[in-house]
Amino acid sequence: MSDIKRVVLAYSGGLDTSVILKWLQDTYNCEVVTFTADLGQGEEVEPARAKARAMGVKEIYIDDLREEFVRDFVYPMFRANTVYEGEYLLGTSIARPLIAKRLIEIANETGADAISHGATGKGNDQVRFELGAYALKPGVKVIAPWREWDLLSREKLMDYAEKHGIPIERHGKKKSPYSMDANLLHISYEGGVLEDTWTEHEEDMWKWTASPENAPDTPTYIELTYRKGDIVAIDGKDMTPAEVLTELNRVGGIKHGIGRLDIVENRYVGMKSRGCYETPGGTIMLKAHRAIESITLDREVAHLKDELMPKYASLIYTGYWWSPERLMLQQMIDASQVNVNGVVRLKLYKGNVVVVGRKSDDSLFDANIATFEEDGGAYNQADAAGFIKLNALRLKLLANQK
């Protein structure tokens, strides 16, 4: 890649990407454009500007993508009730296609020859970033330093930073023993004691959620208003998608300890990995969305969505957000949400989300038919006999054969 003159780097300002910035400048003798995304990770992103400028970067992009992230990525995913391997709400996975999209947009704006990221050669993120990039710009070149250099430990990175005058503090506040990733949907933890699958996670690891044991003894009730499958208001107050998720994180996590998860998942690259996640707002959203769908979706539509959801979840997990099959599934999922309108009432209490009410002008629930009392002839119970006999026919034939 000796013809590379300019590279767009996904830059956080931390140790890894600061070293990558300098390494790109020296190894490829190229100009580096930095891109820092604010996805609601809860940390200041502006310091990255000063760090990049100190390292000679002239074109610096710092973008607030919170609304786009929730509106165009999180909300569409939750319309499908998406869960990977039965538990994981895909908080890291769903952020990667947006970062890839913005990297390509900046590459086009700046005339860059390549993009670069700090994902390691062992994880899923390298796949997600690069599949997204190639789908959006087939001819783009990708530089993944972790697959090229020999700086394979934190100490080597620190030594490189010190040798090249990169402004990274070797001493200071204690570094977390975990590898963490955060955005408005979740925060993840890997490494440290979590690499022993028998060792319980440490209580002081959690950043976003109160301990359920110490949560208030009084529950909180909230009402979520849905329009076409998306939450548009909380307790009657209209909110933007990012505002909705921010508020659900606050009331669900900080107050009631909702959304903690400790799992071992199957990475796309072939290994198993233990991770802990805090997804308070997402946990509430999943429960509430299934509740509003329970009264507004036809049975067979709901069941078909449930059958297709694992495939949809796998596509997101493995980096195929921009694939034709995910886009096709999304069109079908979105079409199913036309009548998913109404209000869901929830009780939040000590780590739990309990549905206590749901209503909709588009409800398919008919109390006159479902009642255990007299229904005035709305349903002829005698009809069930023929229904059962017809469905039992093949079972009888099999039994007679035996």
Comparing C-alpha atoms, which of 155, 164, 156, 186 is closest to residue 24?
164
Q: Which residue has the tokens 């900080």?
A: 254
Angstrom distance (rounded) from CA 180 to CA 164: 26
Q: Comparing C-alpha atoms, which of 312, 249, 315, 314 is closest to residue 283?
A: 249
Among residues 127, 104, 125, 128, the alpha carbon closest in space to that of 115 is found at: 104
Give the three-class secondary structure for 36: strand
Of 6, 71, 159, 179, which one is the catalytic site residue? 179
Quote the CA–CA distance of 302 and 159 in Å, as a whole number. 56
Query: Of 12, 16, 93, 102, which one is the catalytic site residue?
Result: 16
State the Cα–Cα distance between residues 151 and 80, nearest whole angstrom: 41
Q: Which of 66, 79, 96, 102 is an active site residue?
A: 96
**Catalytic-residue membership of 179:** yes
334 is catalytic: no
Concerning whether 2 is annotated as a catalytic residue, the answer is: no
Q: What are phi and psi of 106, to 5 degrees?
A: -70, -40
Residue 238 annotated among the catalytic residues of the structure: no
CA 160 vs CA 151, 155, 331: distances in Å: 8, 9, 48
Decide: 378 and 368 in contact? Cβ < 8 Å: yes
The four Cα atoms 132, 133, 139, 143 give a dihedral, to 10 degrees, of: -130
- Sequence-distant (6+) residues with CB within 8 A of 130 are 100, 117, 142, 144, 319
From the candidates 12, 38, 102, 125, give the one annotated as an active-site residue: 125
CA pair distance 355, 353, nearest whole angstrom: 7
Short-list 223, 281, 271, 224, CA closest to 250: 281
Angle, CA 59 vertex, CA 57 and CA 60 arms, to 5°: 85
Give the helix ranges, DSSP H, for 250-382: 280-296, 299-317, 324-336, 367-370
In the sheet with 179-182, reading across from the earlier edge strand, the strands are 179-182, 187-190, 272-278, 260-266
Instruction: Name the amino acid, one letter, at 326.
Output: R
List residues with catalytic annotation: 16, 96, 125, 179
